Amino acid sequence: MLVMFNLDKTSGFIGEARQVASPNCDERPDQCAPSLLVIHGISLPPGEFGGPWIDQLFTNRLPANKHPYFAAIADSKVSAHFLIRRDGELVQYVPVDRRAWHAGQSCYAGRNCCNDFSIGIELEGEDSTPYEKAQYDCLSRLIKTLRTTMESLANADIVGHSDIAPGRKTDPGAAFDWHKLRMLLGDN
């Protein structure tokens, strides 16, 4: 049985998460509660894990001169609600009641602008490297918590970034085991 996290409905933060406030968020449109969970994969620089770079990207402090790849993305204004590190650490950047800037140009079930109605969950990883057991465990706990404590997410679909931005995005990639996640959630 999955042990849930503690979501403070007043603040929109998970108590057990390391909190790193991102300025890259805003209010959701009126009457637009989150109803979709979007799984992403991220590594900075690409294919490398660990380090402060993801936190720095989501807080607009990524040093463009530290890696050639960073020069192209350092001015990006992006965020996600959550990041799950390789070791299973949960980091939260944006309260769940606010709109994080994670999906970009996107569409799901005929609805555009998925940021308006979704929760963005980044997994530290990349398309072809298997994700860690600790990440699946944390992800399933997080999803169970969100589905149980937020009425609008009770029956939320779970999709990859590639599903809402096909042709533009490929994450979380072929290495992400959707079957394993469904088994952990009991969504067989």
Q: Which residue segment(s) compose the domain that 52 sits in?
A: 7-185
Single out the residue of 119, 154, 141 nearest to residue 5, CA to CA: 141
Inform me whether the pLDDT recorded for 31 exceeds 90.
no
2 part of a folded domain: no
Residue 70 CB partners (closer than 8 Å, separation 6+): 44, 45, 53, 62, 63, 64
CA angle, 163 then 167 then 173, to 5°: 55
Distance CA 152, CA 179 (A): 24
pLDDT tens string 118-151: 999 999 999 999 999 999 999 999 999 999 999 9
49 part of a folded domain: yes
Secondary structure (3-state) at 182: helix
pLDDT of residue 188: 67
1 part of a folded domain: no
* Tokens describing residue 40: 């992403």
What is the rounded average pLDDT for all residues in the chain?
97
CATH code at position 141: 3.40.80.10
114 part of a folded domain: yes
91 part of a folded domain: yes
Which residues are annotated as catalytic? 122
How many domains are there within the chain? Answer: 1
24 part of a folded domain: yes
* Phi, psi (rounded to 5 degrees) for 117: -130, 25
23 part of a folded domain: yes
